[in-house]
Amino acid sequence: MAKKTTTSRKQGATRNWIAYLCESLVSSGVMPTWEAATYLTENLFGEKPNPRLLSTTNAYEVTSQFLQRLYHPLVEAASRDITLPDGAMLHVFTDISLTGKSAVLVVYVSGNNHLDQLLMLDAAKAWELVFTDSEDVNRWAEERYRWVKSALTSAIGKPTTAAVLAAVS
Q: What is the CATH number of domain 17-168?
A: 1.10.3100.20
Per-residue model confidence as pLDDT tens digits over 53-63? 887 788 899 99
Which of 12-16, 55-59, 117-121, 126-130 is least confident? 12-16
104, 71 Cβ separation under 8 angstroms: yes
Find the DSSP H helices in 28-133: 33-44, 59-81
Q: Where are the domains of the chain?
A: 17-168
Per-residue model confidence as pLDDT tens digits over 17-51? 999 999 999 999 999 999 999 999 999 998 888 88
